[in-house]
Amino acid sequence: MTTPKLQVQNVWKRFPVEKGEALVAVQDLSMTVQPNEFVSLVGPSGCGKSTMLMMAAGLEPITEGEIKVDGGTVFGPGPDRGVVFQTYTLFPWLTVEENVRFALKKSGVEKSKQDELVRDHLRLVGLEDFARAMPNQLSGGMRQRVAIARALVYRPQMLLMDEPFGALDAQTRMLMQELLLNIWQADRTTVLFVTHDVEEAILLSDRIYVMTARPGRIKAEIVVDLPRPRAFMETEGDERFVKLRKQVLSLIHSEVKQAG
């Protein structure tokens, strides 16, 4: 059996509270992501799914348990894991091109090779004509495309995405999902994707973990057996898609109801 790309073992996250007992955000959570697999983490809002992702990124300390990447324990952030945030994280004083290049600062890649990598990745997200633009000239969708290019440019082992399309309008979100689908189907970088959008999770993923309301645990694991390559219109019309959506939604629905 191959080593999983990402392995989360009995992870707990407690946030200390000024008075009284600590708030348990994530409780004894275990999950895996295999190499070249696209896995989504869905759950009701406030269930700790983003916290889980940030712990995998090494940006949030783990209270208890262990997270491994390629069998090695994670102690902090590193260029083996690219992260895309929900908020716009472009450096506003740099051009699109310079933003992507910034991620290569510590890569040791030589200058001429950097130019090539930056160009290739801007082409990948369809923004080669915007290389010289400043972030404040871009739409929200374009900014997230640059963020994706920037997270991929240093060829990380896996991509961690925290509701990357959560702030976008419905039409832009649809286009971005399609773009990500195409990018992923071309090179199959391992992805852990956090979202509260069930349809988005089904469209993109090989497997979905459904989390409970706080404290976050794994409630169910669902294999998405829809054929690839997928495309937005075809896949969402598939009757298996409709069935899966109903299944996942009812799982989340019961959680929200209990918590609410």
Partner 1 sequence: MANSPIARPKEKIQLLELRREIPRQYYVGAGIGFIAVFVAAWFLLTSFGFVSKIFLPSPAAVWGELMKQIQSGVLWQDAGASLYRIMVGWLLSTLFAVPIGILMGNFHFFEGLFEPFIDLVRYMPAVAFVPLTILWLGVDDSQKFAILFIGTFFQEVLLIMDNVKTVPRDLIQVSYTFGLSKWEILWNVILRAALPGVWDTFRITLGWAWTYLVVAELVAANVGLGYRIMRAQRFLETETIILGILVIGVLGLITDYLFKLSYKKLFPWVIQAR
Chain residues that interact with partner 1, rule: CB under 8 A: 54, 57-59, 76-79, 81-83, 85, 87, 89, 91-93, 102-103, 105-107, 134-136, 151, 154
- The distance of closest approach from Cβ of residue 92 to partner 1 in the complex, given in angstroms and rounded to an integer, is 5
User: CB-hemisphere CA count at 13 Å for 195?
Assistant: 26
Q: Which of residues 11 and 138 has its CB atom nearest to partner 1 in the complex?
A: 138
- The distance of closest approach from Cβ of residue 118 to partner 1 in the complex, given in angstroms and rounded to an integer, is 14
Q: Which of residues 4 and 82 has its CB atom nearest to partner 1 in the complex?
A: 82
What are 8's two structure tokens? 């989360």
Q: Which of residues 51 and 235 has its CB atom nearest to partner 1 in the complex?
A: 51
- The distance of closest approach from Cβ of residue 102 to partner 1 in the complex, given in angstroms and rounded to an integer, is 7
Q: CA–CA distance from 116 to each of 20, 60, 112, 240 (Å)?
A: 55, 33, 7, 41
Q: Which of residues 100 and 251 has its CB atom nearest to partner 1 in the complex?
A: 100
Q: Give the closest residue to 227 by CA, choosing from 237, 216, 212, 218.
A: 237
Q: Which of residues 26 and 90 has its CB atom nearest to partner 1 in the complex?
A: 90
Q: Which of residues 154 and 241 has its CB atom nearest to partner 1 in the complex?
A: 154
- The distance of closest approach from Cβ of residue 69 to partner 1 in the complex, given in angstroms and rounded to an integer, is 13
- The distance of closest approach from Cβ of residue 244 to partner 1 in the complex, given in angstroms and rounded to an integer, is 32
The owner of tokens 């999983």 is 4
Query: Where does the chain show beta strands of DSSP type E?
Result: 6-15, 23-33, 38-42, 64-69, 72-73, 81-84, 158-162, 190-195, 207-211, 218-223
SS3 assignment, position 95: coil
- The distance of closest approach from Cβ of residue 89 to partner 1 in the complex, given in angstroms and rounded to an integer, is 4
Q: Which residues pair with 13 in a beta bridge?
A: 26
Q: CA–CA distance from 111 to each of 106, 115, 122, 203, 249 (Å)?
A: 12, 6, 17, 38, 48
What are 197's two structure tokens? 């959008």
